[in-house]
Amino acid sequence: MSRRVLVLGGQRSGKSRFAEELIAKSRLTPVYLATATAGDGEMAERIARHRNRRGEGWRTVEEPLDLAGTLQREARDGQAVLVECLTLWLSNLMGAGRDIDAETATLVAALTATQGAVVLVSNEVGGGIVPDNRLARRYADALGTLNQRVAAAVDQVVLVAAGQPLLLKPTPQPEIVL
């Protein structure tokens, strides 16, 4: 397993299951770093489904805002941390009025310095139409930028669509040159 992997995909694409399988195959101690908060019944059900699917072998750490600090504490030799997910983390930051650029820079620095294996999950939201309201456009733009900055800092990037992983980084061979 690469030391740092970003798994991207749309909603219900299979990205979370793929990321969980990467961690399981590593044979390292699995740590689930949850950024979600159960703000309503539907979200509580989603969280419960994810927890049940993972089973009891995972240790869960809930942290909706201080992702960089938690990674620094949890990402160490012998452990594999699954960050689920950057999408909700960004939403939490925006809701708290945090400086997204500064938080992203802090996350990238922490990620680069980690000693343990880290798999980060994030949604790819840029493939649809441009949102019709300012907040949604700001969010989509910020998530696209966050994903790009994290992708630049990791060893591998995988896009999951319809449950099928596609390796984006390192660039599969043959390289396309014009």
Q: Which residue in the list 23, 50, 58, 67 is annotated as catalytic?
A: 50
Q: Which distant-in-sequence residues (6+ apart) come within 8 Å of 20 by Cβ?
A: 53, 54, 82
Tell me how far the alpha carbon of residue 135 is from its chain's centroid: 21
Residue 33 is among the residues annotated as catalytic for this protein? no
Tell me how far the alpha carbon of residue 171 is from its chain's centroid: 20
Long-range contact pairs involving 41-45 (C-beta distance under 8 Å, separation at least 24):
none
| CA-wise closest residue to 155 among 26, 9, 39, 2 | 2
Q: Which residues are catalytic?
A: 50
